[in-house]
């Protein structure tokens, strides 16, 4: 029988965790959450120890998000830029390790928001594979796995579909590389939510529940029964985390294009999301 854990992204509350707001961990634990997705890019190296200690004291699992920023281009024509992108990811791997994180996920097979006016070339695909294979081997030494997150066409042109991501996984061919699937991106790109999740059986390391408008799950038109039935049918045992944004001053607002309030406040968003995920997980006997 498969059991899922329920997580929440730190962006529901803040773009940057620090000693002033670390009590967010207590708050989400109280609601019932098992896990939080942390923004690795915005976490200071000298804060990792405190974060780790706090999470351990609460028995809270942390995962690390770290998409490539605009200045880091893993599929650039310029070799120097590709090297810099790989070095940047290695730094995030070390940060993740210091926090006690074992899953590092994001849009890092290309750079969000950088377009060429064409689809991906074979050369660009190969650059991503070479770079990620290097990062994967580095991460292995730290006991960390990478999760590629297929993201919609407005954010990148390399991997929009689950099927694209499976091709890249096969090419990277490392056991510590898998997928983070996200219902928001899938709703834009996939014809059939159930079939695409099932097509990735055994390769899904992390899952984002995201409503079609990125608001509270269960308040929009994502076919949630298809999503949870698929997670059940692939025996998913990982974390199902709500990813939404209330603090719209966050630095990724321009990438994810969220300009309006998606929920009244972070408190409401987290409580309602938890309730909804739990209800669906119970319906499909995954709790």
Q: Which residues bind Mn ion (CB under 5 A)?
A: 182, 208, 243
The gap from C-alpha 127 to its chain's centroid, in whole angstroms, comes to 22
Of 177 and 241, nearer to Mn ion (C-beta) is 241
Minimum distance of Mn ion from residue 9's CB (angstroms): 8
Minimum distance of Mn ion from residue 149's CB (angstroms): 6
The gap from C-alpha 101 to its chain's centroid, in whole angstroms, comes to 13
Q: Which of 73, 124, 149, 155 is catalytic?
A: 149
Per the annotation, the verdict on 190 as an active-site residue is no
Count of C-beta atoms within a 10 Å radius of residue 226: 18
Minimum distance of Mn ion from residue 258's CB (angstroms): 12
**Residues in CB range of 8: below 8 A, 6 or more apart:** 28, 33, 35, 36, 37, 241, 242, 270, 273, 274
Contact predicate 251/243, CB 8 Å: no
CA distance 274 to 258: 22
Of 75 and 179, nearer to Mn ion (C-beta) is 179
Per the annotation, the verdict on 56 as an active-site residue is no
CA distance 196 to 173: 20
Minimum distance of Mn ion from residue 118's CB (angstroms): 25
Of 226 and 243, nearer to Mn ion (C-beta) is 243
Of 134 and 213, nearer to Mn ion (C-beta) is 213
- Angle at which helix 122-140 crosses helix 79-99, to 10 degrees, equals 30
Of 47 and 166, nearer to Mn ion (C-beta) is 166
Contact predicate 245/13, CB 8 Å: no
CA distance 280 to 258: 26
Q: Which of 124, 155, 189, 243 is catalytic?
A: 243
Contact predicate 5/238, CB 8 Å: yes
Minimum distance of Mn ion from residue 37's CB (angstroms): 8
Over its C-alpha atoms, the chain yields an Rg (Å, rounded) of: 18
* Catalytic residue numbers, as ranges: 149, 243
């Amino acid at each position: 029988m498969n059991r899922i854990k329920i997580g929440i992204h730190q962006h529901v509350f803040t773009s940057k965790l620090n000693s002033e707001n670390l009590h967010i961990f207590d708050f989400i634990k109280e609601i019932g959450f098992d896990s939080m997705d942390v923004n690795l890019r915005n976490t200071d190296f000298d804060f990792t120890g405190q974060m780790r200690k706090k999470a351990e004291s609460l028995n809270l699992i942390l995962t690390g998000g770290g998409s490539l920023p605009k200045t880091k281009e893993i599929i650039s024509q310029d070799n120097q830029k590709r090297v810099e992108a790989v070095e940047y990811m290695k730094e995030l791997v070390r940060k993740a390790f210091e926090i006690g994180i074992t899953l590092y996920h994001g849009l890092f097979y290309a750079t969000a928001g950088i377009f060429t006016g064409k689809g991906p070339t074979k050369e660009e695909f190969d650059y991503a594979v070479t770079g990620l294979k290097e990062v994967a081997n580095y991460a292995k030494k730290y006991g960390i796995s990478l999760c590629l997150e297929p993201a919609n066409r407005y954010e990148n042109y390399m991997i929009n579909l689950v099927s694209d991501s499976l091709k890249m996984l096969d090419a990277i061919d490392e056991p510590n590389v898998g997928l983070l699937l996200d219902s928001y991106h899938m709703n834009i790109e996939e014809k059939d939510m159930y079939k695409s999740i099932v097509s990735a059986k055994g390769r899904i390391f992390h899952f984002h529940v995201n409503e079609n408008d990125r608001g509270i799950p269960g308040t929009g038109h994502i076919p949630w029964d298809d999503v949870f039935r698929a997670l059940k049918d692939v025996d998913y045992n990982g974390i199902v985390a709500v990813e939404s944004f209330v603090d719209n001053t966050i630095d990724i607002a321009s990438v994810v294009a969220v300009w309006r309030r998606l929920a009244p406040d972070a408190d409401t968003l987290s409580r309602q999301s938890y309730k909804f995920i739990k209800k669906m997980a119970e319906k499909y006997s995954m709790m």
